[in-house]
Structure 1
Amino acid sequence: MSSPALGEFLRTRRARMQPAAVGLSEYGRRRIGGLRREDVAALAGMSVDYYTRLERGRGADFPDSVLDSVARALRMDAAERDHLYTLVRPSDPDHHYAPMVRPGTRALLDSITTPAFVLGRHMEVLAWNAVGAKVFGISAGGHRNLARFTVLDPDAGVFYPDWEPVAAETAAYLRRQVARCPRDRRLTSLIDELTAENPVFHRIWSIQTQDCAPHGNRLIQHPVVGRLEFAYEALDLPGDQDQTLVVYTVQPESPTHDALESLRDRELVGAN
């Protein structure tokens, strides 16, 4: 790989950022504006030599975890991150994946009075309503990937008292996405991460045969209001590839209904 466009792209991303904005000292003499290569390397958790190889286009096998770390260090948005992947792997069309949630879908989310959100290809939460944020702890600066939360977060086993069926549904969702997008290396990298870091999920993934359920029930032990019992519907959005609307429903006048009312009375986590 040798890509002048890649180097120019990363240099412009470095130049637009100020050290103080990412917690770096501005003391001392800097020959360039913005961040230096060693700044980005430190923020991304890698050696300066390794980052320099990426910026100079030397070597073709940079893993997704490295590219994601650089994207976070340079505070790239979704479109910039996918452009980075395209520059590094121009022959892989699946790295053009950059889902946009339509305004009409966001308006639909806001009209739903129970938890609801839109999932993307990698089980990332693309948009959500206020009560969904309260129930699942979703925020712009917090966790946004339900697969990583379910499989890797140490609190997931408490949040989901029936954790293993939830993990099995997670595996089924990811299997469906792999079948649809077999060349998506970010997707396979995510699965590798989940199976490597959680042996129980590795077993579930190895024996998983169930289909991705379009509806079902979900039990949650919420850290503030306690036990919540939901039914859910998962609907693929027509015309919006790789987006699934998930809506949780409750029985009227049930303990869960009352608990949601209690959550609504608290300070809003916020919606996106």
Structure 2
Amino acid sequence: MGNLTGRTALITGGSHGIGLAIAKRFADDGANVAIVDINEDHLSTASAYFADRDQAAMTLQADVTDKQQVEAAVKEIVESYGQLDILVNNAGVIRDNMFFKMSDDDWDMVMNVHLKGAFLATKAAQKYMVEQKYGRIVNISSTSALGNRGQANYSTAKAGLQGFTKTLAIELGKFNITANAIAPGFIETNMTRATAERIGVDFDDFVQARAKEIPVSRSGKPEDIANTAAFFADERSSFVSGQVIYVAGGPKA
């Protein structure tokens, strides 16, 4: 039996990258896993992965910025598994550009997916967590929250998630609900691949260059973030709340 046996976890944006790595880790630790994502193709691939391993998982297509879709997805998860114990707000997008070139749409898209999406998913999930007097909320922030060239929108959204996390910890703690955040550093994902393409650099060269700047001398993998999420999601981490862990291979972003 794993540490999360009998628990039900919802991961937004969980059909690929960091989100999928978290879903896989939770399933390996015994949890019932529910993935909410907007990408139908990625959802199908993720569903097949869990089916091949005979692990309890469901995939739901929904837009995290749409209140009705989010509430319907959460309701379906609770009806299927009987409870909702863990929420990982991972859904995210990038619309990188220098600030003076950034469009209103670029700003709004990033704010809506990261901040409004986390707000809606948490609002829907916390109702059930409060009723059962148990919950674990994990928000995926970023070292970009400290500021990053070409990411005024993304940096702002990720910093906002840290404030959101700390406020949730204060307000929901009395219901045995913890809220914590993970701020990944350089992780090899489709997002970082897109960044390499944006600046016109080969991805392998991009990874090697970044790894030289990281104290542990390697780039991060999605599994590194999944390991931290598993710590926050564990029932035994009940005295850890309102925290932000920078998983970046060193003390600096």
Larger Rg: 1
Length-normalised TM-score, structure 2 = 0.28
- Higher relative contact order, structure no. (Cα contacts within 8 Å, ≥ 6 residues apart): 2
Length-normalised TM-score, structure 1 = 0.27
